[in-house]
Amino acid sequence: MVQQDLDPRGDSVLEVSGVHKSFAGVHALRDVDFALRPAEVHALIGENGAGKSTLIKVITGVYRPDSGTVRLDGRERDFRNPLEAQAAGISTIYQEVNLVPLMSVARNLFLGREPRRFGLVDVGRMNREAAEVLGRYGVDVDVTRPLRTLGLGAQQMVALARAVQIDARVVIMDEPTSSLEPREVETLFSVIRRLKEQGIAVVYVSHRLDELYAICDRVTVMRDGEVVHTGEIAQLERLRLISLMLGREMATVRDKGTTAFDTDRHERQTGRPVLSAEGLTVRHRLHDVSLDIHPGEVVGLGGLLGAGRSETAKAIVGALGTDAGSVEIEGKPLHRRSPAAAIRAGVVMLAEDRKAEGIIPNLSVRENISLAALPRLSRAGVVSQAKQDEVVRLFMERLRIKASGPDQKVSDLSGGNQQKVLLARWLCLNPKVLLLDEPTRGIDVGAKAEVQSIIDELAADGLGVLLISSDLEELIEGSDRVVILKDGHVVGNLDGEDVSEDGLLDALATAPPLSPDDPDLPEQPGPATGPENPGGTPRAGSDPAAAPVKEKQR
Amino acid sequence: MTSLTWTGPALDRARVRRLLQDYGVYAALAVLFVVAVGLDTSFVQMSNIRVQLFQVAPTLLVALGMALVIGTEGIDLSVGAVIALAASVVPLYVGYGMLPALAVSLLLGAVSGAVGGAMVALARIQPIVATLSLMIGVRGLAEIVNGNSAKPVTQSGLLDLGSQSVAGIPEMAWIAGICALLTGLLVRRTTFGRQLVAIGDNRQASRLSGLPVRRVLITVYVISGVLSALAGVLIVGHGAEADPANQGLNMELNAITAVVVGGTPLSGGRVRVLGTVAGALFMQLITAVLTQHNVHTSYTQIVEAAIICFAVYASQERGTR
């Protein structure tokens, strides 16, 4: 029986084959095969919704697959919960460090399997062993201190040490570096190399391509719930990798796309930009991002997940605090930075997360539309019903919002109609600049086309529009100009004929490795000796394993 | 088989729950009234009704402010202490007349509310913690101002306010009724009211929509403080004494009960003013009925506890998308 369960090739520590998983009829995973060899670091990449997280959850026992098998060391396994997977040797380190912040480092490390003496926790032994274990990973900290007093990097290292302690055969890391400083990343890498030496296989999920090329051996690319590529990462060109992720063949330049945008470019009014952002900087997120928006143009903001697109929009309207930078509206600087001030100046943002940052779920369509305009629709603080009804009726008609009436609860509407309600909320303020963060995400095809043609019309009416979209086609066809972000830096500007998929993919692939906190742009080479990075930027090649992770008081 | 038949009743249950949420408190109030009259016809005598109104008026005033605070997903535990503070300054200023005493009391209520609001809106302390500290501190302050013993108040205007009736209804009840009406208009018709509800429903979205979140939050706590102070002055007038050590005790709990029984969800985003009025009346009547039929206070409390549990259970939103 064991024989027939054995993996025919016998070279995989973990093998997922033919896995399907769907939620409420929507396929999250479709016939997914994934094989992990011992002592390899395997990158798992894909855009949002590609199915990475679902696959990880199937492997770690959070979800059970609808069909297909998961084999560990050649034996078919059916994990009913994460604990079973863990006991079998699959450890996971999540994005947010999921330990107990108020407990000591040692206690966290041994949580649930503390060394005991006479039935009580043997604290002395626990602390000794904890210090020893962490020392092996280059983390030199006082193990009796509460975990939360450590820097994030050190916390992550504790999580890693804990994961590996449990006789792990497979370690899954989900975006482990998203909150790390560059040198902490290096320490993490040296730990990963050590895991490899011990024969442990690592699944590495990250959006930072530079890291993938630095540490991974093989790569699996997912898109729309399917595996679209598996192979050696060294043999996969960066450009090819990006095009696989986004689902665009480099060579295929289509004449006409499937979006509802007019193929003609908008007539851009030259001269003074309506919005001009200078040097926006947010620690760990954005570095010196500048962009102009002219009346009547749609400026696309391109880049992969985590490049800082949403952050740029939020920094402009003051929803995200900036460390440096300024925003001018028609030449006048915005002094107070808050969404309210931006709205008064005529800059509005359609937020990406419709549910958390957009709709007021229990209020009616009428109230959701008029929310931001309430002061304008009131006299002496009393809302004028007549004015409110007029505005609401006008915009429900103009944007063709399908609701049983203005009094319907907004959360009862479809995603597309909710999005139109939010657009109406902003448009009734008669703004000068409209920042759209993923305006068509999660809405059906018909509504998507309608929203796209609305964007077109608005630009034609002279509004300045900033368009953020992960839908490459939408971005290319909707924008007159594209500003490309990577790791919080502006790395390119596409204009005119260059606004194409090839141009965008090219710019993304050729941009040099960056970190949002790198003080210098690549065009200005020089010793990287910014205050946040005193020793220069240690890149691949240096051996930071010797250097302990710097503890930081938080 | 069961799985097939299950969907029918489940749908009905959702509708029943909805109806219960929307109209339950009014129906319960009506039933209670009928039962009370059925048990003892003297219940409808004007004298009894006046007694009930005298007792419910301060609770209702406090509950109105509480409903606004709860609508913003907050809570105000300091209301009882503010009543005590308002009561404590009445003997000091009542010598100048009723209005100066009233003005000072309301001002102190506003200041206390502003402090609580600032803690919540600016320092981002959780409302329950912020107002809990305020509750302890303000009660202490009231006892310092007044000393430990009750002081008699004999100013005629104030006593009239607390005991006279106009058109057969106590003045206190008129005041509470007018305040309820104003609160209803505030919530339904004004920019402030709509902003308050939106902030309670989705604060982040409200902030991104440019709503003055901090200003609205602070104002809500100020209103709650002022209404509580008004209730405190009325209590002094009704009892003809200022007793900060005892007046307003447990009032925060009575007010929260009235709001919850009235169908305002603790999760914010909805303020039911008329429901709060009905909730306050309901709790008053049930206590009165039980007391008049010689049920011991201990049992009355247990009944109240059961009602609160049921009201919260009924107000839970289930099966939301």
For A81-127, what is each residue's pLDDT tens digit? 888 888 888 888 876 666 787 888 888 888 777 777 787 888 888 88
User: Quick one: A122 exposed, middle or buried, by C-beta within 10 A (0-12, 13-18, 19+)?
Assistant: middle
Which residue is closest to B187 within chain A, CA to CA? A382
As a whole number, the mean pLDDT across chain A is 80
Return the structure tokens found at B63.
């509950």
Residue A219 has pLDDT above 90, yes or no: yes
The range of the structural domain enclosing residue A25 comes to 1-89+170-179+188-250
What pLDDT does residue A391 have?
A: 92
Q: Is residue B105 within 8 Å of B89, Cβ to Cβ?
A: yes
What pLDDT does residue A477 have?
A: 86
Residue B140 CB contacts under 8 Å (≥ 6 apart), including other chains: none
Complex prediction ipTM: 0.83
pLDDT band at residue A302 under the 50/70/90 scheme = confident
SS3 for A484? Answer: strand
SS3 for A434? Answer: strand
**Do B190 and A378 count as a contact with CB atoms less than 8 A apart?**
yes
Return the structure tokens found at A214.
């630095």
* A297 and A349 both lie in a single domain: yes
- The whole-angstrom separation of Cα B231 and Cα B57 is 8
Least confident of A2-6, B205-209, B288-292: A2-6
Interface test with B, best of A362, A379, A419, A434 (most B CBs within 10 A): A362
Separation in Å, CA A108 to CA A100, A114, A115, A152, A305:
6, 9, 13, 14, 32
Question: Closest Cα of chain A to B44: distance in Å?
Answer: 39
Residue A554 CB contacts under 8 Å (≥ 6 apart), including other chains: A148, A149, A150, A151, A152
**Helix intervals (H) in A60-122:** 82-87, 105-109
Beta bridge partners of A325: none
Q: What is the pTM of this model?
A: 0.73
> Considering the domain boundaries, does residue B109 fall inside one?
yes
Report the number of distinct structural domains present in chain B: 1
Least confident of A151-165, A325-339, A363-377, B274-288: A151-165
Q: Which residues of A touch B210 (CB under 8 A)?
A: 338-340, 342-344, 372
Residue B205 CB contacts under 8 Å (≥ 6 apart), including other chains: A351, A356, A357, A358, A359, A360, B198
SS3 for A351? Answer: coil
**Do A360 and B206 count as a contact with CB atoms less than 8 A apart?**
yes
Return the structure tokens found at A460.
């034609």
Return the structure tokens found at B149.
């013993």
What pLDDT does residue B38 have?
A: 87
Question: Closest Cα of chain A to B82: distance in Å?
Answer: 28
> Considering the domain boundaries, does residue A127 fall inside one?
yes
What pLDDT does residue A96 have?
A: 60
**Do A357 and B321 count as a contact with CB atoms less than 8 A apart?**
no
SS3 for B126? Answer: coil
* A83 and A106 both lie in a single domain: no
Write the CATH number for B78. Answer: 1.10.3470
Residue A525 CB contacts under 8 Å (≥ 6 apart), including other chains: none
Residue (of B73, B36, B59) closest to B235 by Cα position? B59
> Maximum Cα–Cα distance for chain B, whole Å?
78
- The whole-angstrom separation of Cα A370 and Cα A386 is 12
* A51 and A29 both lie in a single domain: yes
- The whole-angstrom separation of Cα A91 and Cα A72 is 13
Residue A398 parent element (H or E): helix A385-398
For the segment B87-135, what is each residue's pLDDT rounded down to a tens digit?
999 888 888 888 999 999 999 999 999 999 999 999 989 999 999 999 9
Interface test with B, best of A343, A374, A378, A391 (most B CBs within 10 A): A374
Interface test with A, best of B72, B73, B187, B209 (most A CBs within 10 A): B209
Give backbone dihedrals phi and psi of A65, rounded to 5 degrees, phi first: -65, 150
Write the CATH number for A432. Answer: 3.40.50.300
Q: Is residue A170 within 8 Å of A89, Cβ to Cβ?
A: yes
Q: Which residues of B touch A357 (CB under 8 A)?
A: 204-205, 208
> Considering the domain boundaries, does residue A120 fall inside one?
yes
> Considering the domain boundaries, does residue A307 fall inside one?
yes
Q: What angle do CA B25, B27, B30 make, to 5 degrees?
A: 110
Q: Which residues of B touch A317 (CB under 8 A)?
A: 208
Question: Closest Cα of chain B to A447: distance in Å?
Answer: 20
Interface test with A, best of B18, B196, B202, B270 (most A CBs within 10 A): B202
Return the structure tokens found at A436.
């759209």
Three-state secondary structure readout of A222-287 = EECCEEEEEEECCCCCHHHHHHHHHCCCCCCCCCCCCCCCCCCCCCCCCCCCCEEEEEEEECCCEE
Percent of chain B whose pLDDT exceeds 90: 45
Q: Which residues of A touch B190 (CB under 8 A)?
A: 378, 381-383
Question: Closest Cα of chain A to B94: distance in Å?
Answer: 35
Average pLDDT over residues A28-41: 90
pLDDT band at residue A4 under the 50/70/90 scheme = very low
**Do B194 and A362 count as a contact with CB atoms less than 8 A apart?**
no
Residue (of A63, A34, A38, A62) closest to A46 by Cα position? A34
The amino acid that residue B127 corresponds to is P
What pLDDT does residue A262 have?
A: 67
Residue A141 has pLDDT above 90, yes or no: no
Residue A365 parent element (H or E): helix A365-370
Nearest-CB residue to A383 (from B191, B201, B270): B191
Q: Is residue A186 within 8 Å of A538, Cβ to Cβ?
A: yes
The range of the structural domain enclosing residue B235 comes to 45-315
Q: Which residues of B touch A338 (CB under 8 A)?
A: 210
Return the structure tokens found at A198.
């011990």
- The whole-angstrom separation of Cα A74 and Cα A15 is 8
What pLDDT does residue B230 have?
A: 95
Nearest-CB residue to A383 (from B194, B197, B211): B194
Q: Is residue A346 within 8 Å of B185, Cβ to Cβ?
A: no
Residue A20: how many other CB atoms lie within 10 Å: 16
**Helix intervals (H) in chain B:** 2-39, 46-71, 79-93, 98-121, 127-146, 156-163, 171-189, 191-201, 203-208, 213-239, 251-261, 273-292, 297-315
What pLDDT does residue A2 have?
A: 38
Q: Which residues of A touch B195 (CB under 8 A)?
A: 374
Q: Which residues of A touch B270 (CB under 8 A)?
A: 362
The amino acid that residue A10 corresponds to is G
> Considering the domain boundaries, does residue B32 fall inside one?
no
> Considering the domain boundaries, does residue B34 fall inside one?
no
**Do A360 and B198 count as a contact with CB atoms less than 8 A apart?**
yes
Q: Is residue B121 within 8 Å of B213, Cβ to Cβ?
A: yes
For the segment B156-206, what is each residue's pLDDT rounded down to a tens digit?
888 888 888 888 889 899 999 999 999 999 999 999 999 999 999 999 999
> Considering the domain boundaries, does residue B4 fall inside one?
no
* A234 and A378 both lie in a single domain: no
* A293 and A339 both lie in a single domain: yes
Nearest-CB residue to B208 (from A339, A367, A375): A339
The amino acid that residue B134 corresponds to is L
**Do A340 and B189 count as a contact with CB atoms less than 8 A apart?**
no
Alpha-carbon Rg of chain B, whole angstroms? 20
What pLDDT does residue B62 have?
A: 95
What pairing do the DSSP bridges indicate for beta strands A481-486 and B165-166? Answer: unpaired
How many CA atoms are closer than 13 Å to the CA of A294, on its beta-carbon side?
A: 14
Question: Closest Cα of chain A to B184: distance in Å?
Answer: 13
> Considering the domain boundaries, does residue A67 fall inside one?
yes
> Considering the domain boundaries, does residue B15 fall inside one?
no
* A422 and A460 both lie in a single domain: yes
Nearest-CB residue to B208 (from A351, A361, A411): A351
What pLDDT does residue B115 have?
A: 95
Q: Is residue A341 within 8 Å of B208, Cβ to Cβ?
A: no
Residue B77 has pLDDT above 90, yes or no: yes
Percent of chain B whose pLDDT exceeds 70: 93
- The whole-angstrom separation of Cα B173 and Cα B114 is 27
Query: Higher confidence at residue A225 or residue A218?
Result: A218
**Do B205 and A359 count as a contact with CB atoms less than 8 A apart?**
yes
The label of the residue with tokens 């963060």 reads A437
Which residue is closest to B186 within chain A, CA to CA? A382
Q: Does B192 touch chain A (CB under 8 A)?
A: yes
Question: Closest Cα of chain B to A360: distance in Å?
Answer: 6
As a whole number, the mean pLDDT across chain B is 87
For the segment A458-480, what is each residue's pLDDT rounded down to a tens digit?
888 889 999 998 778 888 888 88
Percent of chain A whose pLDDT exceeds 70: 83
* A175 and A155 both lie in a single domain: no
Q: Does B206 touch chain A (CB under 8 A)?
A: yes
pLDDT band at residue B240 under the 50/70/90 scheme = confident
Report the number of distinct structural domains present in chain A: 3
Return the structure tokens found at A266.
């908008």
Which residue is closest to A413 within chain B, CA to CA? B321
Beta bridge partners of A298: A465
* A203 and A61 both lie in a single domain: yes
Nearest-CB residue to A357 (from B189, B197, B204): B204
Q: How far is CA A260 from the centre of its chain?
A: 27
What pLDDT does residue B6 have?
A: 45
> Considering the domain boundaries, does residue A255 fall inside one?
no
**Do B205 and A360 count as a contact with CB atoms less than 8 A apart?**
yes
Separation in Å, CA B24 to CA A160, B19, B32, B260, B314:
54, 7, 12, 12, 9
Residue (of A359, A377, A376) closest to A368 by Cα position? A359
> Considering the domain boundaries, does residue A523 fall inside one?
no
* A158 and A121 both lie in a single domain: yes
* A241 and A295 both lie in a single domain: no
The dihedral formed by the CA atoms of A26, A27, A28 and A31, expressed in degrees to the nearest 10: 170
- The whole-angstrom separation of Cα A233 and Cα B34 is 80
* A358 and A288 both lie in a single domain: yes
Average pLDDT over residues A280-288: 86
> Considering the domain boundaries, does residue A552 fall inside one?
no
* A192 and A142 both lie in a single domain: no
Helices B46-71 & B213-239 angle (0-180, nearest 10): 160
Beta bridge partners of A493: A483
Size of interface A-B (CB pairs under 8 A): 73
